[in-house]
Chains A and B, each alone.
Chain A
Amino acid sequence: MTSSAVTTVTTEPRRGTGFLPRAEFQHLIDLLGEDGRTVIGPTVADGAIVYGEVRAVSDLPVGMGAEQSPGRYRLVDHHDERYFAYAVGPTSWKRFVFPPTLDLAESHRDEHGHVSFGPVHHEIPKLAFLGVRACELAALGIEDRVLLGGPYTDEDFRKRREHALIVAVQCAEPGGTCFCTSMGTGPGVRGGHDVLLVELADGFLVSSGSEEGAGIVARLGLSAATEDQLVEGSDQLVAARDRIGDPVATAGLHDRLLAKLDSPRWAEIADRCLACTNCTAVCPTCFCTSVSQRSDLDGRTAVTERRWDFCFTKGFSAVALGGNFRPRVQDRYRQWLTHKFATWIDQFGTSGCVGCGRCITWCPVGIDVREELNLIAPPPVLGTEAQVAAHAPRTSVFHVDAVRPETHDTVTLALSTPDGMDWSRLHGEFVMVSVPAIGSIPISISRRLPTGMELTVRAVGPASTFVTGLERGAEVGLSAPLGHGWPVEAAHDHDVVIVGGGMGFPPLRPIVDEILAHRASFGEVHIYHGARTPSDLLYKEELAAWASRGDLDVGVTVDRADTTWLGRVGVVTQLFDHARWDGSKAIAFVCGPERMIQATVSTLAARGITQDRIFISMERHMECGVGLCGHCQVGPFFVCKDGPVFSLAQLGDVFGREGI
């Protein structure tokens, strides 16, 4: 749609349906190509019907179709005159509105260490999509919700979407892997188009779905379609629907599928699944991406490139220090299938699947989601925004005002912005820290300052190692604060239990700051910090100062002592499993390694703190920070956007589940 991509309500001018004789189809192609538009449509290449440039009728797949079955696609010659008698092939329109690779930003670091960040501007081509099917219109609508639904939006996608004129063609020749009927997306077009064509034996029924489409149709100067022609068109559609049938029982599928997270079938699928990413790559709605930096040899100029990424690769769910939240192929397949058919609905109010069948046809080993869904979650029966035009956050240049070493590999940096903005008023739990040519990493805010913040960073990978080596006066790029933080206000008039393991302690420090600023608003406050060794303890002086106030209970422990250590030794839960406080009045805030969180949570639960009063911060592979790249998904949540702080009640049985 050329206007307002998100609202796909059809404002049908309904000037009736015209008839375009087949011999005059070139006239339509020429009209679409006016105003500098390139017409993209079906064409035969490399043994398939793909989408490419169409200048003439002879570019179209005249008389061609394809046989499709799981893992198999073969062109067939129907020996007739039809142009659109095929079911969708391997290309989807996603490629044209959400390119496989895209340069997002450019960054620089000069010889004095000054850094700068800027966007890369792209010329957005004016395109006309010719031959868009009902399932594909549905897919574009889903992408609108995902990428433009907010709070962060993909402005490049918006422009490409708005620059594309859509000529839909009614489906008359479904393929052997289609199931749009089950997903409720087709085969009939129900809006989202500028022009709609129905191909008949001798020509095309033509109608419009937008003002711009109406203009084009008017210029074709068509005669009105006859009653017989209209019947021929609707008969074709009915026949198409009958041929597809209803292969997937979708009623209640969301709940049925999520109830089968422990099905043995996941492992059986993994025996066949190649984790090759083809299903996600051909899917018209899969939107996950990764970014990487290309730089010159000196690292002075770098370009941040975004590319399609896929939840089937190991790197997709990897985190620092070699961790991986979905180590097995069965975890990744489960993630993909449950996201498409269940948690997508929780996130975006629509299924992520349109039933186009591409993932079935183009799976090299022919795994059939229709079959798998019916096997994993067989039916009994029954079943089911406010958009903010804010682009992904801009990177601002911050100055390092002070550097305080915490341990041999960890420092606390005080950072301020030269633009004088009051950062203390911006909500959010973490920032993306960017270093030109090296990368971008999420770091929790460990203290809010009037013009900036403190970040406590441990040298783990290249970017964090670089950041920990920054000196006073150095520059670095920071996003605006992102994510949902600790609900400290909810702890007013409650006792507070704060438990931080290792590098999980810094994100908790702003809670202590907040409590100290309004000490009378809180009850008893217990702060527990565990570290591997005495030399890994953070904020030692601050902990001592808090302990000496008399109105905070501070406990510190290490896993392994050395000769200098006279304090507690043991895991952090030992600090409070027998402490003399009453959990029924407490709210807990917990952060640390996953295993430490699990142990802590069960101890806290045993002490009487209910799940709605235990808040944890989750670690996942966060890349974009704004819920658009897909990496950090946990069940129905994106950790960056919906978290990273969650209550246990919110997480439900997602918490602690392996491979999710």
Chain B
Amino acid sequence: MVRATSTPRPRLGVVKLASCDGCQLMLLNLEDALLSIAERIDIVEFPEATSHRSSGPYDVVLVEGAVSTPEQLETIHEVRREAKSLVTIGACATAGGIQAMRNWANHDAFRAAVYAHPEYVESLATAQPVSDYVKVDGELRGCPINGDQLLEFVAALLTGRRANLPDEAVCAACKRAGRVCVMVAQGIPCLGPVTMTGCGALCPGFDRGCYGCFGPREQANAASLGAQFVAMGQTPVEAGRLFAGFTGYAPPFRDVITELGGAPGIPAGHAPSPASTGTPSGGN
């Protein structure tokens, strides 16, 4: 009648691609719960916590970071083969992250400008979300991911229920929390209406617009919101640039940037489309 007790402990891996490790740190930051989790899950790979390396197979692997180098491209295919369930965590893995800003620019010119010896830097022309290369079974969004969502994900994994990770807008959480809309009451542009909830509407609680770090929610009408920013007095390029943050490479935001301008690193008046890599089968 109760299966959970008899099943072997699930094997969990944490794999890092191009990222800052901040999402892995959220797992470490669970502190009190971490020991309980470790009693119930075999954490077989976790670079931020241990230098011990183990290859799969994994029941679940959490992937942090974008695919930015040829080596990472090999890694992600290898991890996919070894994982029953592959879950991407954070803005880099789910949307390309900050490093995907280079997708709008000339990658070789960037590399030459930044590094003394660009020939030592092996990287792909674009930084892509993991789902552009392999099938992804689940996502934890955010920059960084939210600790409560991570804990909910783990609890759901262990009990066998569906994790409660709503696909609603940040606005829903903002209104439940009783916050006043910064866009309507103060004229501050806010990405909340088109961004997936999960952060608890953090920024609007501090009189800031949402930066979109959880990325676009389902059917995000980013075009309408961009037009509203312009109606509120932003120039089209300023409005477009508001979408060009942590998750700007995610399609609905990317399309607005293409439409309005404001691509990262591109002067006003030039609005090229981001580089396309001819991506890949297996995306979701």
Contacts and interface: CB of A to CB of B under 8 A. Distances in A.
A95 B194 CA distance: 24
Contacts of B193: 274, 276, 278, 364
A31 B36 CA distance: 51
Contacts of B185: 46-48, 73-75, 90
- How big is the B interface, by class? 35 or more
Given A297-B36, A298-B40, A473-B1, A274 B221 contact: yes
Contacts of A109: 2
Closest 7 CB pairs of A and B: A299-B159, A281-B175, A113-B1, A276-B193, A100-B176, A474-B1, A46-B180
A72 B180 contact: no
A438 interface: yes
Given A297-B33, A313-B167, A314-B218, A469 B3 contact: yes
Contacts of B4: 298-299
A112 B2 contact: yes
Interface string A277-313: 1100110000000001111111100000001101001
A188 B177 CA distance: 31
A91 interface: yes
A273 interface: yes
A463 interface: yes
B181 interface: yes
Contact of A50 (B2, B162, B168, B178): B178
12 contacts: A72-B187, A90-B184, A271-B221, A275-B219, A277-B169, A278-B171, A292-B164, A299-B158, A299-B159, A313-B172, A314-B167, A461-B162
A437 interface: yes
B244 to A, nearest CB: 19
A48 B178 CA distance: 12
Interface string B196-236: 00000000000100000000001101001101100000000
Contact of B169 (A50, A275, A282, A475): A275
A71 interface: yes
A71 B160 contact: no
A274 B224 contact: yes
A407 interface: no
B168 A277 contact: yes
B13 interface: no
A554 interface: no
A470 interface: yes
B161 A90 contact: no
Nearest to A69: B184
Nearest to A473: B1
B162 A364 contact: no
A310 B172 contact: yes
B267 interface: no
A466 interface: yes
A310 B176 contact: no
A129 to B, nearest CB: 15
Contacts of A271: 221, 224
B228 to A, nearest CB: 5
A74 B188 CA distance: 12
A297 B181 CA distance: 35
Contacts of B187: 72
A298 B158 contact: yes
Contacts of B154: 297
B2 A364 contact: no
Interface string A462-506: 110110011101110000000000000000000000000000000
Contacts of A462: 160-162
A314 B221 CA distance: 13
A295 B159 contact: yes
Interface of A: 45-48, 50, 71-75, 89-91, 95, 100-101, 109, 111-113, 270-278, 281-282, 292-299, 307-308, 310, 313-315, 329, 361-366, 437-439, 461-463, 465-466, 469-471, 473-475
B175 A50 contact: no
A471 B171 contact: no
B179 interface: yes
Nearest to A475: B1
B37 A276 contact: no
B161 A438 contact: yes
Contacts of B158: 297-299
B106 interface: no
Given A95-B178, A275-B219, A313-B168, 11 more contacts: A271-B224, A276-B194, A277-B175, A298-B40, A299-B159, A314-B219, A315-B168, A361-B184, A364-B181, A437-B161, A469-B3
B171 A281 contact: yes
B161 A439 contact: yes
Nearest to B192: A276
B26 interface: no
Given A295-B155, A437-B159, A362 B184 contact: yes
A111 B3 CA distance: 10
Contacts of A270: 221
Nearest to A89: B180
Nearest to A299: B159
A308 B219 CA distance: 21
Given A293-B161, A299-B4, A315-B168, A46 B224 contact: no
Contacts of B161: 293, 295, 299, 437-439, 462-463
B186 interface: yes
Interface string B263-282: 00000000000000000000
Contacts of A277: 168-169, 171-172, 175
A450 B193 CA distance: 52
B73 interface: no
B82 interface: no
A307 B176 contact: yes
Contacts of B207: 46
B255 to A, nearest CB: 14
B59 interface: no
A466 B160 contact: yes
A281 B227 CA distance: 23
Given A295-B155, A297-B33, A364-B181, A281 B172 contact: yes
Contacts of B259: none
A364 B1 contact: no
A48 B180 contact: yes
A310 B193 CA distance: 13
B228 A308 contact: no
B60 to A, nearest CB: 14
Contacts of B219: 275, 314, 329
B166 interface: yes
A292 B168 CA distance: 14
A273 B218 CA distance: 13
A107 to B, nearest CB: 12
B183 interface: yes
Given A329-B221, A469-B3, A73 B184 contact: yes
